[in-house]
Amino acid sequence: MKMKSNKNKERGLTLVEVIVIIAVITFFAALLLPALNKGRGNHSRINCVSDLKQIGLAIRIFGNDHGKDFPWRVPLGKGGAEERVRTGDPSYQFLTMTNELGSPKVLACASDGRVSKTANFAGLSRKNISYFLCLEGDESSPNNLVSGDRNITGGVLTNQLYVLPTRSGKAGWGRMFISWREISVYQMAVCNR
C-alpha cells in the first residue's frame, strides 16, 4: 500500500469566510461606537465644569483684590464694570477679570453649540460666552449663586444681564458655582434678590 503524502498547501480564506469575518467585525463595531461617543460627551461636560470652576475662582480672586466685591459691584475707575451692568452684555464683566481667567477660551463650553471660542480678550463678545453671572452674588453670602451654565432652563432675559433662572416650573439640569462652595448640579436655581 502506497501512502499519499500530504503536502502543506497554503490555503487562503474562502469568500464565505471573509464575509463572515467582516459581518462579525461590523457587529462589534456597531456595539462599541455608541459607547465611545458617550465617553466624548462626558469629556465635554467635564471640561465645561472645569471651565465653570475656573470662572468661579476668577470671580472670587477678583473679589479678594477689590474689597470682597465682584466686578458688577466695582466702579469702572477702580477696575470693575458696575456702570456697564445695564448694557446687558456679560463680556464687560469678564473683561475685568482677564488676569484671573488667563484665557477667554474658558468662557465657551465645548458642548455649547451656540457659542464659539475666541483666542484673545480683544475679540470677546456675548457670542463667545456660555455662562451666566448672577448679579446678586457676593462674598458676604456664602450660599449665593455666582455663575452657571446655559443648561439651566426656565430662565428669563433680564434688563440687566444674562439669563437668570426663575421659578417657571420648567425643569432642566445645569451646573452652578455657588460662592464658598464647589460646583453643584441643580435642576433649578433662583438668584437671591
Boundaries of every domain in the chain: 45-186
Q: What is the DSSP letter of 64?
A: H
Q: Which of 96, 99, 95 is nearest to 122 (CA)?
A: 95
CB 95 within 8 A of CB 122: no
175: which strand partners? 185
C-alpha cell of residue 162: 444674562
pLDDT by 10-residue block (mean), the chain, 193 residues: 58 88 92 71 74 88 90 92 86 93 90 85 90 78 73 46 37 54 49 45
Range 8-24 burial, b when 16+ CB lie within 10 A, else e: eeeeeeeeeeeeeeeee
Residue 54 backbone dihedrals phi, psi, to 5 degrees: -65, -40
Whole-model pTM? 0.65
pLDDT at 116: 87
pLDDT at 89: 83
- Dihedral angle computed from the Cα positions of residues 121, 125, 127 and 130, in that order, rounded to the nearest 10 degrees: 60
pLDDT at 56: 86
CB 163 within 8 A of CB 176: no
The total number of residues shown for the chain amounts to 193
Rounded Cα distance between 178 and 56, Å, is: 8
Q: Cell 465682584 belongs to which residue?
A: 70
